[in-house]
Structure 1
Amino acid sequence: MTSTEIVELRRVIGQMRHCVSSLRAKYGDVAAVQRLANDVERMDIDATELVDLGSTPRQREAPQVEREVVVVPDTPYDESLWKDADDEGLGGYRNRS
């Protein structure tokens, strides 16, 4: 971002902050006004991050997530687990005795 863009962005964020303050005075601290205030704050934080990055924005790296590995054995299931179970694929009860 050029310094002109940064100055303009800061000016616009300041104007939005002023407008949100006016809305808060008129409507009180309702949910819609709180969301707008949060949005303006988020834009201010993001603008600061862009300025800190310099002129070449970098992609954020995805956080590393630890995944649990679940081992499923290849051995056959015990047939007694399925005794007297419905066989849904065939449309009804099927006795496996």
Structure 2
Amino acid sequence: MGGLVGDATQLRAVNRAIEELQARVGEARNAYGNIPPISRLVNDVERLRIDAGDLVGVPTRVPEPALTPIQIDNTPADALMWRDADDEGIGGYHGTKR
């Protein structure tokens, strides 16, 4: 079973990053004024804050188990198995002529 994101340091780190972004967007608003791109950024940061708040109490996914490498045998195949096979790209080969 997964843990709770709200109990993890991940959510606190996300909230700190959002607060930092909010401060930088506020500085940009002071520099550029309340022009449409700044208004959109303010709205985007608010949306991030709301979405991060929605994660409180949501269980995290159970990590997938690590894949185990499969050993491939490097022994050459029996040449008789390919005796009448076509060699792709060279043209058809159909054994000895009859």
TM-score normalised to the size of structure 1? 0.53
1:10 aligns with 2:15: yes
Moved over 4 A (4+): none
1:19 to 24, 37, 44: 24
Aligned identity (percent) is: 36
For residues 3-82 of structure 1, what are the structure 2 equivalents within 5 Å?
A: 3-52=8-57, 54-56=58-60
Cα deviations by residue, 1:5-26 (Å, 9 ceiling, x for unpaired): 0110000000000000000000
Which protein has the bigger helix share?
1
Equivalent pairs counted in the alignment come to 56
Which protein has the bigger strand share?
1
Give the match's secondary structure for 1:5.
helix
Give the match's secondary structure for 1:51.
coil
Give the match's secondary structure for 2:26.
helix
Instruction: Report which structure shows greater RCO (CA 8 Å, sep ≥6).
Output: 2
**Structure 2 unmatched runs, 5+:** 62-98
RMSD: 1.5
